[in-house]
Amino acid sequence: MEILISFILPFVLLLTVVVFIHEYGHYYFAKKYGVGVTDFSIGFGKELFGFNDKSGTRWKFCAVPLGGYVKFFGDRNVFSQAEQDELLKEYRKEDQKKLFVVKPIYQRSLIVAAGPFANFVLAILIFAFIYMFAGKDFTPAQIQDVQKDSPAFVVGIKNGDIISSIDNNKVNSITQVSTFINASTNDQISIEVLRNDKTLFFQLYRNHLKEKIRLVIKLIGRLLV
């Protein structure tokens, strides 16, 4: 049961989203260029449930959720003009316009390529989302070790203090501490810390920091450099 919940269900859910986006790319351009779509299926095999929309497309979920497909009206492989002419004889003039094989080659190419392109766009959106919300380091810049007689110790910074800003630059994570210190051009560096829900301000001289920065503060296993 744990494997089912932890691995199988998330995998099936993710695959369903990827398949839907892929097939919807085919579907969108097919409808755009007037190709009839009879089936939009998520999964293969026996249909579990589904519905028909106004245009007659059957939207359905099937028993084997390992893929999907979009079926075009009169879907059939045609390899020659003679075969295409034979196919057209099977349909009325009105229905012939819905056939995939009668569309210009650029339209057919776009319909075929739309599925992979939709997944490409999905991948960009996913990575952008990860970068914006999960790919950044938000580890608090909490001081773990202030060495005795270091510049930080002398001015009164203590273990457990959380650095909230450096030279009025808000600090959101450990990685920003060294960046803001190295970027400062002032003789003094202003450091704002939180201690027991109180905000405290300290001034550290840059010339001391240049020489002793590696010995000043250890932030969760990292040296402040």
Active-site residues: which are they?
23
Q: Which of 101, 109, 98, 112 lies closest to 26, judged by CA?
A: 112
Long-range contacts of 46-55 (CB under 8 A, 24+ apart): 55/31
Query: How far apart are the C-alpha atoms of 41 and 135, rounded to whole Å?
Result: 34
Query: Phi and psi dihedrals of 136, rounded to 5?
Result: -100, 150
- Which residue type sits at 150? S
Token pair of 154, please?
């002398």
Locate all alpha helices (DSSP H) within the chain, ordered by sequence: 2-3, 9-32, 81-88, 93-96, 105-129, 151-155, 175-183, 206-216
- Which residue type sits at 153? F
